[in-house]
Chain A
């Protein structure tokens, strides 16, 4: 406390040194600041501008128009948004249900096993994204490996149609995003004080009670981080629905891509849809941040 206090009122010499260091920090981060402003922030401004223009077959006419927003609010794009939200939610839930036991098991293994198991989780994650999706196509397709094996074993008489359904999309989404859930969960569970768990069971709590009252609340931050890392990218999924999904019920990522790439193009609508997605993401993040801050303040009060 006193240490912090002293730094709040620095001496003259310190102030000079601090402002020099501050300037140094600005100079060092300036290239990244400029790069990200130019190629990450400003492009969203361009999206905003393009959403207010008139569509053309190939590009845009620089004429003000609100038609893109009229289209969106007419409910034409309600279903793709609903499908994407649903997909992101189901994917997040399944990743959590499958990822938690895995993260828990890794976190409680011996040091040597921990490293081996973590690498086993990470290797598929490092394997090329598109190749992983492609391998699922081989596995799930009507005359694919799964159906051939099941039929050879006489478990089914005709192939199961999984490819080109929402189920196929969910399977591959969980496959791709699972490590994003496991790793943050692992890093939180690993730091857990397991003596608390022993204390709870010693005091007569059943294993289930101990899990729900001690382990789960203490790993909340990992659950939160993992869910955000899965949910938000899942919301914009394009390639997975495109390669294994049902082409009669498109997700929002596909619609945006089609409006950008396929002729006749409609860039204003694609831009407006992207903005709506951005607003949904911003709302999720802000809510998450708000809850997190509130919890932190409460914790500070409790500690006092």
Chain B
């Protein structure tokens, strides 16, 4: 029993260390966004200055708009495609099931750089001008696998008795879909869409390869700012983005609770 205690302690120690490891950089970043200093080292007093500078920066504003446009449109497209595909894959005897599953799972583990390079060359080969449209295409491509898998996993635990009941009562297939099945699928669809949205605003590498000059998203802007060394506002920007993420997590929880009860 004594060795068991030691293992438990060891587990707890590693767990605590991992938690510290996961949160230390983020906490430091947040603290330093209020630091009244041009460079990151040393505490020079509290300020909101960089948050104000942030809102005056036109480049950040356009980058933010671009990020939102891409995130919203690619989330919509990948969710619609994902719902259809998940419904298709629901049929266990579908003759294309194995092939479709492979086509959906493989992009998940491919390194971003391979997807980025391959799309960059495709657009060059087709002589397509890179910009908003190419970034949109790229984002839908990497979000699609996630939306299909999330929606499909919800369909797998589906309660068919309600659909059967509706059929027994003589409801038309379309009516069954919209009145019974779709509402039951909705939590899965929302979870998939939110995942796609966060993946889209998070992406750097694939966007880097598929966006032309003059179409910066926030991660692209941040990388450029880090490279140029104009990083003070980045702390403030990062803190806001972390806040936004937390907000999304809370909203997801709330929506799920609302839909499930």
Chain A residues in contact with chain B, CB under 8 A?
18, 21-22, 24-29, 31-33, 35-37, 39-44, 46-47, 49-50, 59, 98-99, 101-102, 104-105, 119-124, 126-132, 134-139, 141, 143-145, 148, 175, 178, 206-208, 211, 228-229, 232-233, 235-239, 243, 253, 256-257, 260, 267, 270-271, 274, 277-278, 281, 285
Contact = CB atoms under 8 A, between A and B. Distances in A.
A214 B15 CA distance: 22
A101 B122 CA distance: 44
B18 to A, nearest CB: 5
A75 B91 CA distance: 50
B12 interface: yes
B11 A105 contact: yes
Contacts of A50: 121, 125
Interface residues of B, number: 87
A123 B222 contact: no
Given A134-B238, A232-B111, A127 B103 contact: no
Contacts of B93: 18, 21-22
B107 interface: yes
A270 B246 CA distance: 38
B120 interface: yes
Interface stretch (B52-60, B77-85, B159-167, B180-188): B77-85
A39 B42 CA distance: 48
Interface in B85-127: 85, 87-91, 93-97, 100, 103-104, 106-107, 109-115, 117-122, 124-125
Contacts of A39: 119, 122, 137-138, 140-141
A139 B25 contact: yes
A228 B109 CA distance: 8
A36 B144 contact: yes
A109 B58 CA distance: 48
A257 B141 CA distance: 20
A131 B242 contact: yes
A39 B122 CA distance: 8
Contact of A36 (B4, B11, B91, B141): B141
By Cβ-Cβ distance, the 9 closest A-B pairs, closest first, are: A236-B111, A28-B88, A43-B118, A29-B88, A135-B25, A25-B94, A32-B85, A143-B41, A135-B29
A139 B24 contact: yes
State the main secondary structure of chain A at its contact with B.
Answer: helix
A239 B205 contact: yes
A260 B26 contact: no
Contact of B245 (A25, A104, A126, A277): A126
Given A105-B11, A134-B238, A145-B41, 6 more contacts: A44-B118, A130-B226, A228-B109, A235-B111, A267-B124, A281-B111
B91 A126 contact: no
Contacts of A102: 14-15, 18
A270 B117 contact: yes
Nearest to B122: A43
B26 A132 contact: yes
A253 B40 contact: no
Interface string B65-79: 000000000000000
Nearest to B248: A126
A47 B15 contact: no
A236 B113 contact: yes
B201 A40 contact: no
A102 B249 CA distance: 22
A59 B102 CA distance: 33
B119 to A, nearest CB: 6
A131 B222 contact: yes
A119 B122 CA distance: 39
Interface string B189-221: 000000000100111110011000000001100
B23 interface: yes
B8 to A, nearest CB: 9
B41 A31 contact: no
Contacts of B32: 138, 145
Interface in B4-37: 4, 7, 10-12, 14-15, 17-19, 21-26, 28-29, 32
